[in-house]
Chain A
Amino acid sequence: MLDIANVPADPVFEPTAIHPKRGEQGEVIQIQGFNLRYGAAQALFDNNFSIERGLVTALIGPSGCGKSTLLRCFNRMNDLIDNLHISGHIEFDGHDIYAPNIDVIALRKRMGMIFQKPNPFPMSIYENVVYPLRIDGVRSKAVLDETCERALKAAALWEEAKDRLDASALGLSGGQQQRLCIARAIAGDPEVLLMDEPCSALDPIATAKIEEMIDELRGRYTVIIVTHNMHQAVRVSDNTAFMYLGRLIEYGDTHAVFQNPQRARTQDYVTGRFG
């Protein structure tokens, strides 16, 4: 996938520049010396950084830099891929998520994920939202109803959907579908929300709604968002990690990374000189 030998750029990388921490709730995910390769092609090289609890962290970088790959490692979505090799550690709340005794299903219940393209299930809106509860075997109508309403309100979809909860979710618009997917993730009561370019398939108005919603989720959830859109990173994130060719180049407070980058590559990327 990513053949480093064919990339004309300077193969010399300086060590990662890490800005001072800004959060007060400690760290939720620690990435330590994490490498990943698909067969012979290495996608991630020796990543070391920590995601701070309760903040919104943006992962930015040009296409193929490994930011989505890294995000999908957090809830082990990459397990579905054959021939995947990893080394190093990712710790979630102090436990190595790649340890052999880890319960992947339990891990995914603590981390909601929103994908690039909205992927509502072919069911009613209601059933989509309460899907995580159905999985857990929750039968109580009251609990289901209450969770549905709470999740849809948190995802700013309640007003639009409350009168048609029994209608098919596939009848919603793209932006509504994506907010439905966010509601579904929230209904599972996760600690971390992983968002893989959640707005790339949406128009500006739907994007604005989702960004507004992310802003409200801050504090209650740790949000990690992969984005191609640097303006979006500036608008929604507290911390930004800039990745390039599988390496973390610079990480820290969003304003510091964008306005006072420590590395020339970061400077070039955030000012639009390449990317």
Chain B
Amino acid sequence: MNTATIDQAAIQAVKVPTAVVRRSTATALSARGEPFMWALGAALTVGIVMVIGFLLFVFWNGLVTFVPKPVAVVTLKSGTMVAGEPTRSEFYRLSPDAMRALPPAEAEKMATNGGYGHRTLYRIGNYDLYNEDFRWVPDHVVGNIDYPKDVIFVERLEWGVFVGRIKSVKIGDRDLASPTPRDPALLAAHEEARARWQTIRHIERDLIGHVNHDLEALRLDVRHAEIIYGPSSGQAEKARAAEAAQVPALKAEYDRLTAEAARLKSIDQLNAITLADIAGKEKVLPLSNLVRFYPANDLSFFDKVSIYLSRWGEFLSDEPREANTEGGVLPAIFGTVAMTLLMVLVVAPIGVITALYLREYAKQGRLVSIVRISVNNLAGVPSIVYGVFGLGFFAYGIGAHIDDLFFPERLPAPTFGTGGILWSALTLALLTVPVVIVATEEALAAVPRSMREGSLACGASKWQTIKNIVLPRAMPGIMTGIILAMARGAGEVAPLMLVGVVKLAPTLPFDGYFPYVHLERSFMHLGFHIYDVGFQSRNSEAGKPMVFVTTCLLIGVIAFLNLAAIVIRSRLKRRFAGSQF
């Protein structure tokens, strides 16, 4: 008994080895992180699809805009005829009144469709005759749709498109018998008329413009001398004498040019075409007023391609007309590129030098932190605020003082005291400088300390080290900042509307008159052009295709500028890439 008790105690005292609990080797899905990765990947896919879809949409619409379309002649049940390019069609809900007015059979058909009818939008042109460019034609009023081969589509200098037939053509003093759109005599006469029109434009704009410029320069010289030296001073006398000596010759030249232009215009009037719209209303036009005409329903593939290319050529190389909804956008392309490059010229040195000071020279302390935070926050200021600032500070502040000091003779007409390409570039430089500063600071901070120490240990000064080692090494990063700044600046429109962009600039910022670069001039911009054509023109339906084409072009221009900068950056990077063997 006793021993048994002891045994019991001994047994209880012995530690029974329990199973060792090992760490579980299974990994939960949440620990692996795959669901997060899938979600992130899906989000990225959605984003990319949206961007690509948007680009495809814009580019598709932009690219098909200039394709010549057939012209349909619609005979309505009422007997009226409508001719035009079918633009788009849609289902629409008829108003109850319209339903009641329908014939019972039609009304029943509509009712089975839930009150929806179908209609097509035709671009009928002939704005001067009917006061509308586009017309909706509901399907239920259509009697017959036809594509006659003799209907022509005409793009005119004024009043937009004309759709109709050629009635008669007068070339000089002879009439063409039964003219067709492919009549060689008509085509030759048209080409000649266009060339003559170009000559008239050259005389009126360039030659007479030059004479006017010289006259204005003489007048300004006199005014300048009178303001600076006094109206009765010797300098003013001399300027007046010079003006008196040169004005007669210039006036004579002016008269000669005007007479020449008038002569050409009178010849122009002799070459006229009489067009008739589908209902028979006639319209007489000088041949030179026709930009392009073609038999829309009788085109071979080759004809279509050549019209398409010719329209692109006009778009890229000509000036806008018809309130920007037709013609080209050359001044806008030029303005966009010039302004962006000017902005880069300003923003790159300012941003890089600021970042160099902040990162390399300034004592890192509270003040520098505050400056840095402020710079970062500048990037978040709404861009229109920069526009207001640019207008107030650059144009009305600095610009007005420049005018007072250097161009007093032109006042009260402002020279620099109003919006211009220079002020726009400076305003956008302010807007984008934080991007360059931040990127440059990052790039400078990424230059290894060992590089700097190696240079300093060789006896280089701080500036030599920065110039020879740090800056070249940081250059790809700095370029990235400049690319970002450029991309942001080129697409910005809101501030530019206040500081220099206009709907239609009469002159480019660069021309043949001394000093050749006129940074005070206002300019056109593709971004503003999109806004103007799409939302400010008399006919937004007519402007819509141009919105797509111009958007295409703006994206293209920005992509091209960025691509150029990226090529430069990759060249720089290659220099620092390791082995060359």
Contact = CB atoms under 8 A, between A and B. Distances in A.
A170 B576 contact: yes
B562 interface: no
A109 B456 CA distance: 9
Contact of B455 (A131, A167, A168): A131
A134 interface: yes
Contacts of A194: 457
Contacts of A184: 454, 458
A121 interface: yes
A105 B459 contact: yes
Interface stretch (B145-153, B249-257, B464-472, B518-526): B464-472
Contacts of A108: 456-459
Nearest to A181: B454
B578 interface: yes
A47 interface: no
B461 A105 contact: yes
A119 interface: yes
B55 interface: no
A119 B450 contact: yes
B359 to A, nearest CB: 14
B454 A134 contact: no
A174 to B, nearest CB: 12
A132 B578 contact: no
A51 interface: no
Interface string A108-120: 1101110101011
Given A105-B459, A132-B459, A135-B464, A122 B454 contact: no
Contact of A122 (B457, B464, B473, B581): B473
Contacts of A122: 472-473, 575-576
A246 interface: no
Contacts of A131: 455, 458, 460, 468
A50 to B, nearest CB: 23
Interface string B561-581: 000000000000001111111
A109 B458 CA distance: 6
Contacts of A171: 578-581
Interface in A95-131: 105-106, 108-109, 111-113, 115, 117, 119-122, 131
B451 interface: yes
B576 A77 contact: no
B114 interface: no
A188 interface: yes
Given A117-B450, A170-B576, A77 B581 contact: no
Contacts of A167: 580-581
Contacts of B454: 115, 119-121, 181, 184
Given A105-B461, A188-B458, A119 B579 contact: no
Interface residues of B, number: 26
A132 B580 contact: no
A270 to B, nearest CB: 30
A80 interface: yes
Given A105-B461, A168-B580, A170-B579, A121 B450 contact: no
Contact of B451 (A112, A119, A168, A188): A119
B458 A170 contact: no
B33 interface: no
Contacts of A121: 451, 454-455, 468-469
Contacts of B464: 135
Contacts of A134: 468
With most chain B CB atoms within 10 A of its CB, the pick from A82, A119, A136, A194 is A119
Interface string A69-95: 000000101001010000000000000
B139 interface: no
A171 B576 CA distance: 10
Interface of A: 75, 77, 80, 82, 105-106, 108-109, 111-113, 115, 117, 119-122, 131-132, 134-136, 164, 167-168, 170-171, 181, 184-185, 188, 194
29 contacts: A80-B456, A108-B456, A108-B457, A109-B458, A111-B457, A113-B453, A115-B453, A115-B454, A117-B450, A119-B450, A119-B454, A120-B454, A121-B454, A121-B455, A121-B469, A122-B473, A122-B575, A131-B455, A131-B458, A132-B460, A135-B460, A135-B468, A168-B577, A170-B577, A171-B578, A171-B579, A171-B581, A181-B454, A185-B457
3 closest A-B pairs by beta carbon, nearest first, are A109-B459, A113-B457, A171-B579
Given A111-B457, A122-B576, A170-B576, 12 more contacts: A105-B459, A105-B461, A108-B457, A112-B458, A119-B453, A119-B454, A122-B472, A132-B459, A167-B580, A168-B575, A170-B578, A185-B458
